[in-house]
Amino acid sequence: MLPHLTSKTGLNGLIQEMKSIWMNVGEASADVYGGLVCKYLRDSAPEIECTGMGGPDMRRAGLHCVLRSEDLSVMGITEVASALPRIWGMLGRIKKALKSYRPQAVFLFDCPDFNFRVARMAHDLGIPVYYCIAPQAWAWRRGRVRFLRKYVKELLCIFPFEEDFFRSHGVNATYIGHPLLKLLPEKADYTLREGTPRLAVLPGSRKMEMGSLLPVFASACRILREKVPGLELDLIRAPGVSEEYIRSLWPEDIPVHLSPSGERHERIRECSAALAASGTVTLECALLGVPTVVAYRVSSFSYALGRMLVDIPHISMPNLILGREVFPEFLQDRVRPHFLAQAVAERLEGGELRQSVLAGLSALREKLGDRDAVREIASRAVQESLPGRGDAPHV
């Protein structure tokens, strides 16, 4: 049985001589979730030290940071190839740190191309591995299932359909709920915002991603300002992205308000629609009740290879969960200003199309359930750190 944790009751009387756990994230969204887990453990089980690779949220929550996740900011196959020397250097530092710190367990968040190597290192050192946020093996690269079955003690899934898929392939998988539900209000506001229309612009968190999408988003916004009088633009920065970099990609003649990442949920809720790069932010928009137009573009080679390997009808998670296209998706050559502007303009209006979108979004939270993902992850950290579990064998 897993020990019961609440954010209000400490475990000082239960846990003695506890050591560290290692946490590894490579994405801005995973850093947010990792930060929630670090804070939860800091409040409920302060004897556990969280060490590893993380971003701003995890560092603020008390992570003993050995590497910064912002330094792993790549996308696509050709983009990863150019960053290989830096990646191998980071992996070497992690291997050295795992041998030095001897954590009670390793918790890996998403980012499988990087974290699978960390999983193998930890497994070879005799350290239990928990994988949080399952790799999308149900969509492509199903050979990853064999890896998870061998090297991971438990796969913690954040989407309900994932548990059945991985269990059917022999992986010890558990649906724990989605960490986003801890950050968002219990009920979305589906009313059309009165007054001046406002659009959330969400260009992603990676520099290459933003460099590809943001100039096109800006051109689409220029068209929209002609179509929708008085339209206000709120460009919400991802964690670790500087205002200077955003300004370098955004034309000076298009008025835009820049909001910090820490305010993104409040800012998104104030908008009538959103224009977003594909990623976790599309699920955030969906759960906040904001109709969204999704775009994504990678190198031609990465896209061509992806089309051969990926077997899913949609790229955005709200569409995948609901089984239909609630958010329109524009990929590669279809990422054009006039296409995006037209789709956004249709969703800024209060007609039947918008109402159909909102009806679909209202079912999302019910599908995700009410499990507390943060508590579930923290419980496993406590379980591995209890007295009597023993140290990992030295290699």
CATH of the domain at 380: 3.40.50.2000
Reference 294, options 252, 247, 264, 331; nearest CA is 331
The β-bridge partners of 109 are 25, 132
Q: Residue 11: is its pLDDT beyond 80?
A: no
Residues 241 and 139 in one domain: no
Residue 219 lies inside a defined structural domain of this protein: yes
Residues 220 and 341 in one domain: yes
Mean pLDDT of the region 129-157: 83
The answer to whether the beta carbons of residues 239 and 31 sit under 8 Å apart is: yes
Q: Residue 110: is its pLDDT beyond 60?
A: yes
Residues 57 and 150 in one domain: yes
The 3-state DSSP class for residue 163 equals helix
Residue 13 tokens, joined: 């009387």
Residues 231 and 343 in one domain: yes
Please give the Cα distance from 179 to 53 (Å, whole number): 19
Q: Residue 74: is its pLDDT beyond 80?
A: no
**Residue 389 has what pLDDT?**
60
Give pLDDT tens digits for 20-57.
Answer: 999 999 887 789 899 999 999 999 999 999 999 999 99
Residue 63 lies inside a defined structural domain of this protein: yes
> Rounded to a whole number, what is the distance in angstroms from the first to the last CA of the chain?
29
Q: How far is CA 165 from CA 135, 139, 180, in A?
A: 12, 11, 22
**Residue 77 has what pLDDT?**
42
Residue 260 lies inside a defined structural domain of this protein: yes
pTM of the full structure: 0.77
The 3-state DSSP class for residue 75 equals coil
Confidence of residue 134 (pLDDT cuts 50, 70, 90): confident
Residue 267 lies inside a defined structural domain of this protein: yes
Residues 250 and 333 in one domain: yes
**Residue 189 has what pLDDT?**
67
Mean pLDDT of the region 148-169: 92
Percent of the chain with pLDDT over 90: 54
Q: Residue 391: is its pLDDT beyond 50?
A: no
Please give the Cα distance from 224 to 232 (Å, whole number): 10
Mean pLDDT of the region 138-158: 83
Residue 29 lies inside a defined structural domain of this protein: yes
Residues 95 and 162 in one domain: yes
Sign of CA dihedral 203, 204, 206, 212: negative
Strand residue runs (E) in 189-287 = 198-202, 232-236, 257-259, 273-277
Percentages helix, strand, coil for the chain, rounded to the nearest 5?
A: 45, 15, 35
Amino acid identity, residue 132? C
**Residue 356 has what pLDDT?**
86
Q: Residue 328: is its pLDDT beyond 70?
A: yes
Please give the Cα distance from 151 to 146 (Å, whole number): 9
Q: Residue 7: is its pLDDT beyond 50?
A: no
Longest dimension (CA), the chain: 68
Residues 119 and 148 in one domain: yes
Mean pLDDT of the region 308-324: 75
Residues 291 and 346 in one domain: yes
Residues 207 and 356 in one domain: yes
The answer to whether the beta carbons of residues 174 and 157 sit under 8 Å apart is: yes
Residue 13 lies inside a defined structural domain of this protein: no
Residues 115 and 164 in one domain: yes
The number of folded domains in the chain is: 2
Residues 42 and 76 in one domain: yes
Residue 184 lies inside a defined structural domain of this protein: no
Host domain of residue 327: 198-368
Residue 308 lies inside a defined structural domain of this protein: yes
Residues 159 and 26 in one domain: yes
